[in-house]
A and B are shown apart, each in its own frame.
Chain A
Amino acid sequence: MEAYPVPERRRFINWFLGTSFGALALSVLYPLVRFLSPPRIPEPGTAQIEAGSADDPVFREKGFKIVRFGADPVIVVRAAENDFRALSATCTHLDCIVGFQKERNRIWCNCHGGAYDLTGRNIAGPPPRPLTAFKVNLVPKSGSAPTVVVSKA
Chain B
Amino acid sequence: MSRVLQWLDDRVGWSMLREFLSHKTVPMHRYSVFYYLGGMTLFFFLVQVCTGVLLMLYYRPSADEAFESIEFLVTTVPFGWLVRSIHAWSANLMVFFAFLHLASVYFLKSYRAPRELTWITGALVFFLILGFGFSGYLLPWNQLSFFATKVGTDIAGVVPVIGEWMLRFLRGGDRVTGATLSRFYGWHVAILPAITTVLLLAHLVLVQVKGMSVPANVEEESRRRSPMKFFPHFALRDLSGWIFALGVLAALAAMMPWELGEKADAFAPAYANIRPEWYYVFMFQTLKLVPGGEVLGIEYEAIPILLFGLAGLLLLLVPFLDRRHGRGWTIAGLLGLAFVIVMTCWGYGTLVPLYIVFLTALLLALFAFITRAPEAR
- Assess the A38–B168 pair: CB atoms within 8 A: yes
Give the contact-size bracket for chain A. Answer: 20 to 34
Q: Are A37 and B169 in contact (CB under 8 A)?
A: yes
B270:A99 contact, CB within 8 angstroms: yes
Residue interface mask A94-138, B partner, CB < 8 A = 1: 111111000000000111111000000010011111000000000
The minimal Cβ–Cβ distance linking A50 to chain B, given in whole angstroms, is: 15
Q: How far, in angstroms, from A111 to B179 measured CA to CA in the complex?
A: 23
Residue contact A96 to B150, C-beta cutoff 8 Å: yes
Given A37-B169, A94-B154, A97-B269, are A126 and B287 also a contact pair (CB < 8 Å)?
A: yes
Question: Which of B151, B168, B268, B293 contacts A94, CB < 8 Å?
Answer: B151
- Contact indicator per residue, chain A 63-93, by CB within 8 Å of chain B (1) or not (0): 0001110010101000000000000010011
Question: In the complex, A129→B294 CA distance in Å?
Answer: 10
Contact assessment for A37 and B165 in the assembled complex, using a CB-CB cutoff below 8 Å: yes
A93 in contact with B173 given A111-B147, A128-B294 (CB within 8 Å): no
Q: Judge if A47 is at the interface, Cβ distance under 8 Å.
A: no
* Residue A1 CB within 8 A of the other chain: no
Q: Which residues of A sit under 8 angstroms from B173, Cβ to Cβ?
A: 38, 41
CA distance A36 to B187 in the complex (A): 12
Q: Using a Cβ cutoff of 8 Å, how many contacts connect chains A and B?
A: 89
Is A128's CB under 8 angstroms from B301's CB? yes
**Does B280 lie at the interface of the complex (its beta carbon under 8 Å from any beta carbon of A)?**
no
Contact string against A for B residues 271-296, beta-carbon threshold 8 Å, 1 for contact and 0 otherwise? 11110000000001001111111100
B229 at interface (Cβ–Cβ under 8 A)? no
Interface centre among B171, B288, B292 (most CB of A within 10 A): B292
Residue of B nearest to A73 (CB): B267
* Interfacial chain B residues near A112, Cβ < 8 Å: 284, 287-288
Q: Is the CB of A126 within 8 A of B290?
A: yes
Q: Which of B268, B274, B292 contacts A125 (CB 8 A)?
A: B292
Please indicate the chain B residues that have their CB under 8 angstroms from the CB of A40 in the complex: 174
Contacts of A89 in B (CB 8 A): 267, 269
* B271 cross-chain contacts in A, Cβ below 8 A: 110
**Cα–Cα distance between A68 and B173 once the two chains are bound (Å):** 18
Complex Cα distance A129/B268, Å?
21
Residue of A nearest to B146 (CB): A97
- Please determine whether B270 and A97 come into contact, CB atoms closer than 8 angstroms: yes
Contact B291 A95 (CB under 8 A): no
- Among the interface residues B151, B270, B274, B289, which one has the most CB atoms of the partner chain A within 10 A? B270
Q: Which of A36, A95, A128 contacts B154 (CB 8 A)?
A: A95
- Chain B residue numbers with a CB within 8 Å of A68 are 267
| Interface: B368 (CB within 8 A) | no
- Taking a contact as CB atoms closer than 8 A, the residue among A36, A67, A95 that contacts B267 in the complex is A67
Complex Cα gap A103–B297 (Å): 36
Contact A96 B151 (CB under 8 A): yes
- A80 vs B74: C-alpha distance when bound (angstroms): 45
Cα separation A110 to B153 with both chains bound (whole Å): 18
Q: Which residue of A lies closest to B149 (CB)?
A: A95
CA distance A73 to B165 in the complex (A): 23
On whether A129 and B269 interact (CB within 8 A), knowing A93-B301, A94-B151, the answer reads no
Cα distance, A95 to B150, chains bound together (Å) = 6
CB distance from A124 to the nearest CB of B (A): 8
In the bound assembly, the distance between CA atoms of A25 and B284 in angstroms comes to 40
Q: Is B300 an interface residue (CB 8 A)?
A: yes
Interface residue? B221 (CB, 8 A)? no
Residue pair B301, A66 in contact (C-beta under 8 Å): no
Residues of B within 8 A of A97 (CB): 147, 266-270
Contact between chains at A128 and B300 (CB < 8 Å): yes
B299 part of interface (Cβ distance < 8 Å): yes
Q: Which residue of A lies closest to B276 (CB)?
A: A111
Whether A129 lies near B267 (C-beta < 8 A) is no
Residue in A40, A71, A94, A113 with the greatest tally of chain B CB atoms within 10 Å: A94
Alpha-carbon distance between A126 and B169 when the two chains are bound, in angstroms:
26
Closest B residue, CB atoms, query A36: B169
Bound complex: CA A36 to CA B272 (Å): 35
Closest CB pairs A-B (n = 6): A99-B269, A95-B154, A128-B292, A110-B270, A94-B154, A94-B151
5 A-B pairs besides A38-B168, A110-B269, A112-B288 with CB distance below 8 A are: A37-B169, A71-B175, A93-B301, A111-B147, A125-B292
Can you pick out 19 interface pairs between chain A and chain B where the beta carbons lie within 8 Å of each other? A36-B169, A40-B174, A66-B268, A71-B175, A94-B154, A94-B155, A94-B287, A95-B150, A95-B151, A97-B270, A98-B269, A110-B273, A111-B270, A112-B288, A122-B292, A126-B288, A126-B300, A128-B300, A128-B301
**B contact set with A: CB distance below 8 Å:** 147, 150-151, 153-155, 165, 168-169, 171-175, 179, 266-274, 284, 287-294, 299-301
